[in-house]
Chain A
Amino acid sequence: MGAGAVVSPLLLGGCSAHPLPGEGKVSRTPTYCDMCFWKCAAFVEQENGQAWKVTGNDTDLHSEGRLCTRGTGGLGSYEDRDRLKKPLLRVTGADGRQTFREVSWEEALDFVAKRLQSIAADYGPDRTALLNHGSGANHFKHLMRAYGSGSNAEPAFAQCRGPRDVGFELTFGEGLGSPERTDMEHSRCIVLIGSHIGENLHNGQVQTLAAAMRRDATLITVDPRFSVPAGKSKYWLPIEPGTDIALLLAWMHVLIDENLYDKDYIERYATGFDQLAEHVARYSPEWVYLETGIEPRLIRTTAREMAASAPATLVHPGRHTVWYGDDTQRSRAIAILNALLGSWGHKGGLYIKESVQLPKYPLPDYPKPKTTFRTAHGDRYPFANEGVSNALIEASIGPDAHYKGWLVYGTNLPMTIPGIRPQLKAAMDSLELVVVVDTMPMEITGYADVVLPECTYLERYDDLRNAGERHPSLALRMPAFEPRFDSKPGWWIAKQLGQRLGLDKYFPWEDYAEVIDWQLKQVGSSLEEMKKTGIKNFPRTRPRYFSPGQAVHFYTPSGKIELYSQQLADKGFDPMPEYTRPEQPPEGFYRLNYGRMPAHTFGKTTNNPLLFQLAPENTLWVNPLVANEKGLTNGEYVRLANPDGIVSNRIRVRVTERIRPDSVFMAHGFGHRSRRLHLTHEVGADDSELMTNVKVDPLMGGTGMRGNFVTIVKETV
Chain B
Amino acid sequence: MAHYAMVIDTKLCIGCCDCVVACKTENKVPEGLNRDWVVEATQGTYPNLKTEFRSERCNHCSHATCVYMCPTGASHHWNGTNIVLVDPNKCTGCKACIAACPYDARLIMHPGGYIDKCTFCHHRVEKGLDPACVSTCPTHCMHFGLLDDPSSNVSELLRTREHKVLAPETGNEPNVYYLI
Contacts of B89 in A (CB 8 A): 18
> Could you give, for residues 602-629 of chain A, a 1 whenever the CB lies within 8 Å of some chain B CB and a 0 otherwise?
0000000111011100000001000000
Give the distance in Å from the alpha carbon of A17 to the alpha carbon of B112 in the complex.
Answer: 8
Residue from A10, A17, A198, A238 with most neighbouring chain B CB atoms (10 Å): A17
Quick one: which of A559-589 are within 8 Å of B by CB? Answer: none
Contact call B16/A69, Cβ cutoff below 8 A:
yes
Contacts of A21 in B (CB 8 A): 26-28, 123
Give the distance in Å from the alpha carbon of A18 to the alpha carbon of B112 in the complex.
Answer: 9
CB-CB nearest in chain A for B86: A17
Contacts of A228 in B (CB 8 A): 14-15, 51, 53
Contact call B28/A16, Cβ cutoff below 8 A:
yes
Give the distance in Å from the alpha carbon of A306 to the alpha carbon of B123 in the complex.
Answer: 47
Name B50's contact: one of A55, A66, A231, A614 (CB within 8 Å). Answer: A231
Closest CB in chain A relative to B170 CB, distance in Å: 27
Give the distance in Å from the alpha carbon of A610 to the alpha carbon of B49 in the complex.
Answer: 32
Give the distance in Å from the alpha carbon of A279 to the alpha carbon of B17 in the complex.
Answer: 46
Name A238's contact: one of B42, B47, B53, B124 (CB within 8 Å). Answer: B47
Contact call A598/B16, Cβ cutoff below 8 A:
yes
Contacts of A15 in B (CB 8 A): 88, 111-112
Quick one: which of B4-47 are within 8 Å of A by CB? Answer: 11-12, 14-18, 20-22, 24-28, 30-32, 34, 42, 44-47
Closest CB in chain A relative to B58 CB, distance in Å: 15
Contact call A13/B14, Cβ cutoff below 8 A:
no
Interface check B100, CB cutoff 8 A: no
Contact call A73/B139, Cβ cutoff below 8 A:
no
Give the distance in Å from the alpha carbon of A629 to the alpha carbon of B151 in the complex.
Answer: 56
**Apart from A13-B110, A238-B46: 5 A-B pairs, beta carbons within 8 A:** A14-B111, A15-B112, A53-B26, A210-B139, A610-B21
> Could you give, for residues 185-229 of chain A, a 1 whenever the CB lies within 8 Å of some chain B CB and a 0 otherwise?
000000000000011010100110011011000000000001010
Q: Known: A21-B27, A21-B28. Is A72-B49 also a contact (CB below 8 A)?
A: no
Give the distance in Å from the alpha carbon of A226 to the alpha carbon of B50 in the complex.
Answer: 9
Interface check B138, CB cutoff 8 A: yes
> Could you give, for residues 108-138 of chain B, a 1 whenever the CB lies within 8 Å of some chain A CB and a 0 otherwise?
0011100010000001100000000001111
Q: Known: A56-B136, A207-B138. Is A17-B20 also a contact (CB below 8 A)?
A: no
Interchain residue pairs A-B with the least CB separation, the first 3: A13-B30, A198-B14, A598-B16
Interface check B140, CB cutoff 8 A: yes
Name A69's contact: one of B18, B26, B44, B123 (CB within 8 Å). Answer: B18
Interface check B158, CB cutoff 8 A: no
> Could you give, for residues 8-42 of chain A, a 1 whenever the CB lies within 8 Å of some chain B CB and a 0 otherwise?
01111111111011110000000000000000000
Contact call A10/B136, Cβ cutoff below 8 A:
no
Interface check A247, CB cutoff 8 A: no
Interface check B166, CB cutoff 8 A: no
Q: Which of A331-339, A410-418, A654-662 contacts B (4 or more CB under 8 A)?
A: A654-662
Interface residues on A, range: 35 or more
Q: Known: A53-B26, A231-B50, A658-B46. Is A614-B88 also a contact (CB below 8 A)?
A: no
Interface check A288, CB cutoff 8 A: no
Quick one: which of A59-84 are within 8 Å of B by CB? Answer: 66-69, 72-73, 75
Contacts of B137 in A (CB 8 A): 66
Contact call A214/B140, Cβ cutoff below 8 A:
yes
**19 examples of A-B residue contacts, CB within 8 angstroms:** A9-B28, A11-B31, A14-B112, A66-B136, A66-B137, A206-B138, A207-B139, A210-B139, A226-B49, A228-B53, A598-B17, A598-B18, A599-B16, A610-B21, A613-B24, A613-B31, A614-B20, A623-B46, A657-B42
Give the distance in Å from the alpha carbon of A20 to the alpha carbon of B26 in the complex.
Answer: 10
CB-CB nearest in chain A for B18: A69
Interface check B147, CB cutoff 8 A: no
Contacts of B11 in A (CB 8 A): 213, 232
Contacts of A383 in B (CB 8 A): none
Give the distance in Å from the alpha carbon of A611 to the alpha carbon of B14 in the complex.
Answer: 17
Contacts of A67 in B (CB 8 A): 18, 136, 138
CB-CB nearest in chain B for A53: B25
Contact call B138/A203, Cβ cutoff below 8 A:
yes
CB-CB nearest in chain A for B139: A210
Interface check A52, CB cutoff 8 A: yes
Give the distance in Å from the alpha carbon of A711 to the alpha carbon of B42 in the complex.
Answer: 26
Contacts of B51 in A (CB 8 A): 226, 228, 231, 658
Residues of B in contact with A (beta carbons under 8 Å apart)? 11-12, 14-18, 20-22, 24-28, 30-32, 34, 42, 44-47, 49-51, 53, 88-89, 110-112, 116, 123-124, 135-141
Give the distance in Å from the alpha carbon of A450 to the alpha carbon of B163 in the complex.
Answer: 59
Contacts of B22 in A (CB 8 A): 53, 55, 72
Give the distance in Å from the alpha carbon of A322 to the alpha carbon of B49 in the complex.
Answer: 28
Contact call B42/A72, Cβ cutoff below 8 A:
no
Interface check A236, CB cutoff 8 A: yes
Closest CB in chain B relative to A651 CB, distance in Å: 19
Contacts of B25 in A (CB 8 A): 10, 52-54, 72-73, 75, 610
Contact call A210/B32, Cβ cutoff below 8 A:
no
Contact call A13/B31, Cβ cutoff below 8 A:
yes
Closest CB in chain B relative to A508 CB, distance in Å: 40
Name B12's contact: one of A13, A16, A213 (CB within 8 Å). Answer: A213
CB-CB nearest in chain B for A14: B111
Closest CB in chain A relative to B18 CB, distance in Å: 4
CB-CB nearest in chain A for B121: A21
Contact call A10/B28, Cβ cutoff below 8 A:
yes
Closest CB in chain A relative to B145 CB, distance in Å: 17
Give the distance in Å from the alpha carbon of A611 to the alpha carbon of B16 in the complex.
Answer: 11
Closest CB in chain B relative to A471 CB, distance in Å: 18
Give the distance in Å from the alpha carbon of A659 to the alpha carbon of B12 in the complex.
Answer: 22
> Could you give, for residues 89-113 of chain A, a 1 whenever the CB lies within 8 Å of some chain B CB and a 0 otherwise?
0000000000000000000000000
Give the distance in Å from the alpha carbon of A54 to the alpha carbon of B22 in the complex.
Answer: 9
Residue from A55, A56, A69 with most neighbouring chain B CB atoms (10 Å): A69
Contact call B138/A657, Cβ cutoff below 8 A:
no
Q: Known: A10-B25, A72-B21, A226-B49. Is A198-B16 also a contact (CB below 8 A)?
A: yes
Contact call A73/B21, Cβ cutoff below 8 A:
yes
Closest CB in chain B relative to A59 CB, distance in Å: 15
CB-CB nearest in chain A for B114: A17
CB-CB nearest in chain A for B124: A22
Contacts of B17 in A (CB 8 A): 69, 598-599, 614-615
Contact call A658/B16, Cβ cutoff below 8 A:
no
